[in-house]
Homo-oligomer: A and B are copies of this chain.
Amino acid sequence: MDDLLESPTLALARWAVQTQWAQVPEVARLATRRSWLNWWGCALGGAADPQVDRLVSALRPLGAAGSAPLLGRSERLDLPSAALVHAFASNILDFDDTHWATAIHPAGPVASAVVAWSSQYPCSGADALLAFLLGMEVECAVGLAVSPEHYAKGWHITASCGVFGAAAAVGRLMQLDEARMVWALGHAASQASGLVASLGSSAKSLNIAHAARNGLLAAQYAQAGLSASTAVLEDRFGFGALMGEGSFALGKLPGADAHWQVEDNRFKPYPCGFLLHPTLKACLALVQAHGVLAADAVAQITLRVAPLAATRANRPQPADGMAAKLSLQHAAAIMLLEGEAGVRRFTDAAVAQSQALRAKVQVLADEGLSQQEAAVEVQLHQGALLQARHRPAPGEEHPSLDDAGLALKFHDLVAHGAPHCDADRLVEQICATEQLADLRALVGLTLS
């Protein structure tokens, strides 16, 4: 406990070096497996995105070459670039996990570095899964220590804290000793970056990509004997001083009080802004009661949402699939037409498809609704008025998915981004990661 107060960097490094899978309670193991599956789905779902093509085409002429495969693709790159591309792809659909206490998407930076690392330095599935968990816990511990100021000020927290997670995870796979793990965290902090100003552009996913690559390099630098600050979190010119509130303190170590942050990780049910989710749920309830609608049967749709949603997402004519991710009109229309809102429902084609019905959607701000609520009324030409409302049960304000929902999401993503893959076999293998002798077996199933 003294270390925790006086040397949080050392305490965290020691924890990342020493913690064993046997110390992880079953509930945290389960949560780790769920985060792992969700990440694989997101990475494969984004693998064929035009922006990923652009990133790979930017890296290849620079001489990036090597033996590290890219999930769901055919090219091979050097390890750091592979980590970069994995993380970029897994974030590009805006469909990743969320640790609500920090707003971190924990899996991306960590899993991307672990998977890239394993292509050159074979590791067992069990070791990979443990490194993945430890990395996410380090990332969230650093994030919690600087929350909420860090993100509120404008640091893109998944990037700026994710780099610590990637460094800790790869450092663990390397079996760094305590002193080198301290350096790895030092090199991570030296590279911590990412501005909220990037949101809304490709630079957003690049921030997370840099965290994965830079964390991997941080561990590699430390292993090669390149030194760093030995107290980077608490140094007066260190991470807490510059990117926190002027100092740095860890309340507790990860896993203390038998609670692991991974247990709080939630999985987006829809690949769009959270502000649209209550609307999607309300429209889903309507469809479940009355069946899907045909656009020409509808006279008018009235959507009532919380004022913030009405301010930020009242977007009657989204220009493309990207803009549709923040359009209440599109979200309501496409759910009423299709009865689901997976990745194919937020493409340019889906925007064209929703046009006739979304022209009939009127959005009203309702001060009586919380941000987790929405209500929809559909007036049919035939005279009937259909109504539905979404209000989450207490404790379920942050939407997530159960195991069945996660499996559906995974299949949806693979069909979208890596249709050449056998999704059933992949789910089976991903869920059996702990039994794999070599993580490369899993990666191999995804290559095109």
Interface residues of A (CB under 8 A from B): 51, 54-55, 57-59, 61-68, 77-80, 120, 153-156, 183, 186-187, 189-203, 206-207, 210, 214, 216-217, 220-221, 223-229, 231-232, 235-239, 241-242
- Within 8 Å CB of A200, what residues of B? 229
B62 touches A232 (CB 8 A): no
Contact of A197 among B66, B80, B226, B235 (CB under 8 A): B235
- Within 8 Å CB of A221, what residues of B? 55, 58, 202-203, 206
B154 touches A55 (CB 8 A): no
Question: 7 closest A-B pairs (Cβ-Cβ)?
Answer: A63-B66, A154-B237, A63-B78, A58-B224, A196-B237, A197-B235, A203-B228
- A58 to B201 alpha-carbon distance, docked (Å): 32
A78 touches B65 (CB 8 A): yes
Most buried by B among A57, A189, A200, A224: A224
18 A-B contact pairs sorted by A residue (CB < 8 Å)? A55-B221, A58-B217, A62-B78, A62-B80, A63-B77, A63-B120, A153-B242, A154-B241, A190-B207, A190-B210, A191-B193, A193-B193, A195-B237, A197-B232, A198-B232, A200-B229, A202-B226, A202-B228
B190 touches A192 (CB 8 A): no
- Within 8 Å CB of A236, what residues of B? 154, 197
- A225 to B231 alpha-carbon distance, docked (Å): 39
- A63 to B78 alpha-carbon distance, docked (Å): 4
- A64 to B242 alpha-carbon distance, docked (Å): 32
Residue of B nearest to A153 (CB): B242
- A209 to B33 alpha-carbon distance, docked (Å): 37
B229 touches A203 (CB 8 A): yes
- A229 to B242 alpha-carbon distance, docked (Å): 22
Most buried by B among A191, A195, A237: A195
- A236 to B191 alpha-carbon distance, docked (Å): 22
Copies in the complex: 2
- Within 8 Å CB of A241, what residues of B? 153-154
B225 touches A54 (CB 8 A): yes
- A223 to B196 alpha-carbon distance, docked (Å): 22
Contacts A191-B210, A192-B193 known; 20 new A-B pairs at CB < 8 A: A55-B221, A62-B220, A63-B68, A64-B64, A153-B237, A154-B242, A183-B201, A186-B197, A187-B206, A190-B197, A190-B198, A190-B203, A195-B242, A196-B237, A198-B229, A198-B232, A200-B229, A202-B226, A202-B228, A203-B227
Residue of B nearest to A189 (CB): B195
- Within 8 Å CB of A199, what residues of B? 237
Residue of B nearest to A246 (CB): B153
- A194 to B65 alpha-carbon distance, docked (Å): 27
- A194 to B172 alpha-carbon distance, docked (Å): 24
Most buried by B among A156, A194, A227: A227
- A120 to B61 alpha-carbon distance, docked (Å): 9
B238 touches A197 (CB 8 A): yes
Residue of B nearest to A223 (CB): B58
- A195 to B186 alpha-carbon distance, docked (Å): 9
- Within 8 Å CB of A196, what residues of B? 237
B55 touches A66 (CB 8 A): no
Contact of A186 among B62, B190, B198 (CB under 8 A): B198
- A218 to B201 alpha-carbon distance, docked (Å): 14
- Within 8 Å CB of A201, what residues of B? 183, 186, 227-229
A79-B65 in contact given A187-B203, A202-B226 (Cβ < 8 Å): no
Chain B nearest CB: distance from A121 CB in Å? 9
B197 touches A229 (CB 8 A): yes
B58 touches A67 (CB 8 A): no
